[in-house]
């Protein structure tokens, strides 16, 4: 074997170590905290994740899930302004801005007035902000936290809103809406002009990036939609870990991070149990990474919820106790209430049954933004 060949093989072996993703965390012991006010909030949204989805995840796993570990549980009602069945845009807009709006609308109320989101308010008072998603970064759920557009499909306009947002850390698909646009603007370059280090799936694996000396970071995981977990996507738990650690390092005042497990919804729309179980397990591993940080940090409020249920999932009788028979009643969303899980300072605010818009107000109350805005 030539030296050249040996070097090549050695590089291959080493690169496989380097591209390792984070190992799943065993269930963590959640200490109760005596700290009264959270410095950080991590809001985790399992898109399409209703109680059946959570139940299936818990029954399916041999080891305890992270989601079953939360001390506080509430329920949210998800209907949009004029429809018992919400879509992701109206659902996330309610959570992000406290406004019930029409389906397909992002960050605007029913008369198309713009409302600042909790992420934008956090940014305004000097907190670090971030978004991690397994959808395009311009998808309806993440977009509701930084964009204000009449239709969720206005991806290029939504991308422009991201440029204006000041978000410090983002990971998601949708590269094409930034650098291959109909208006031929190059938002990739515009982001770099604003001080971002931007990278993508073509240039390098997320796991190879060292974030030690960056202050604003964006990573595109796909041109449009990222891959499903079972076809090779590996980044959700890793990006969640990177997100909390990056924002914690650069933001003395604290941070607000949104993490979306988007493809729980896609799998349920497609009525595919195996795809769904892989996605919710991946999301649960991301929850593990966030809880690991929160236990260490003690000043982080972690909230896990969904925006609506998808598929009308039922857990039906199966031949064996341990075998799951998941079936779906439709290929769309349903109106069932959605569980809300919370841990950390002010977690108790999330007890009870309330509208999805209340989540926005509870997060503001936790950060004491109510007091700030009334003294303005
Ligand atoms: Zn949704």
Lowest mean pLDDT among 35-44, 118-127, 267-276, 316-325: 316-325
CATH architecture of 43-336+346-374: 3-Layer(aba) Sandwich (3.40)
Q: What is the DSSP letter of 368?
A: T
Task: Tell me: pLDDT of 73 over 90.
Answer: yes
Pairing of strands 300-306, 217-220: unpaired
Domain locations in the chain? 43-336+346-374
For residue 131, what are the contacts with CB-CB under 8 A and spacing of at least 6?
119, 137, 142, 145, 146, 167, 169, 170, 171, 172, 257, 258, 259, 260
Q: Calculate how far, in angstroms, residue 263's C-alpha sits from the geometric centre of ligand 1.
A: 9
Q: What is the pLDDT of residues 174-188, one digit of tens each?
A: 999 999 999 999 999
User: Cβ distance 117 to 363 under 8 Å?
Assistant: no
Q: Calculate how far, in angstroms, residue 87's C-alpha sits from the geometric centre of ligand 1.
A: 6
Q: Calculate how far, in angstroms, residue 48's C-alpha sits from the geometric centre of ligand 1.
A: 5
User: Cβ distance 147 to 158 under 8 Å?
Assistant: yes
- Residue in 273, 343, 356, 347 with CA at minimum distance from that of residue 307: 356
> What average pLDDT score do residues 41-61 get?
97
| Cα–Cα distances in angstroms (integers) from residue 100 to residues 5, 81, 359, in the given order | 62, 5, 12
User: Cβ distance 120 to 165 under 8 Å?
Assistant: yes
Query: What element of type H or E holds 250?
Result: helix 236-250
Q: How far apart are CA 156 and CA 163, in angstroms?
A: 11
Q: Calculate how far, in angstroms, residue 139's C-alpha sits from the geometric centre of ligand 1.
A: 10
* pTM of the complete model: 0.93
Torsion angle of alpha carbons 154, 105, 313, 257, nearest 10°?
A: 80
Give the rounded distance of the alpha carbon of 175 from its chain centre.
Answer: 18
Catalytic residues: 88
> What average pLDDT score do residues 197-213 get?
93
* Confidence category of residue 20, pLDDT binned at 50, 70, 90: low
């Amino acid at each position: 074997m030539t030296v050249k060949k040996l070097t090549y093989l050695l590089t291959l072996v080493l690169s496989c170590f380097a591209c390792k993703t984070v190992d799943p965390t065993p269930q963590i012991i959640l200490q109760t905290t005596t700290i009264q006010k959270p410095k950080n909030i991590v809001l985790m949204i399992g898109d399409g994740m209703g109680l059946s989805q959570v139940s299936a995840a818990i029954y399916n796993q041999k080891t305890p899930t992270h989601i079953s570990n939360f001390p506080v549980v509430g329920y949210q009602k998800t209907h949009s302004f004029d429809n018992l069945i919400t879509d992701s845009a109206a659902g996330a807009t309610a959570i992000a801005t406290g406004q019930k709006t029409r389906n397909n609308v992002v960050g605007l109320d029913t008369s198309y007035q713009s409302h600042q989101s909790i992420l934008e308010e956090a940014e305004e008072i000097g907190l670090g902000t971030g978004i991690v998603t397994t959808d395009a970064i311009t998808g309806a759920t993440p977009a509701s936290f930084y964009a204000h557009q009449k239709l969720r499909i206005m991806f290029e306009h939504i991308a422009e809103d991201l440029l204006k947002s000041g978000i410090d850390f983002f990971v998601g698909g949708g590269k094409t809406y930034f650098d291959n646009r109909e208006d031929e603007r190059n938002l990739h370059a515009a982001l770099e002009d604003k001080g971002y280090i931007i990278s993508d799936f073509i240039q390098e694996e997320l796991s190879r990036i060292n974030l030690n000396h960056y202050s604003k970071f964006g990573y595109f995981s796909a041109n449009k939609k990222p891959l499903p977990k079972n076809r090779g996507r590996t980044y959700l738990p890793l990006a969640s870990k990177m997100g909390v650690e990056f924002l914690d390092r650069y933001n003395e005042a604290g941070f607000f991070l949104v993490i979306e497990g988007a493809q729980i919804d896609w799998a349920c729309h497609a009525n595919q149990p195996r795809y769904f179980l892989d996605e919710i397990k991946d999301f649960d591993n991301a929850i593990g990474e966030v809880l690991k940080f929160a236990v260490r940090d003690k000043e982080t409020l972690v909230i896990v919820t969904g925006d609506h249920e998808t598929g009308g999932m039922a857990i039906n009788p199966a031949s064996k106790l341990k075998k799951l028979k998941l079936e779906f009643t439709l290929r769309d969303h349903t109106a069932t209430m959605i569980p809300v899980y919370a841990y950390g300072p002010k977690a108790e605010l999330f007890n009870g049954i309330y509208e999805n818009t209340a989540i926005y107000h509870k997060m503001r109350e936790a950060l004491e933004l109510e007091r700030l805005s009334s003294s303005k």
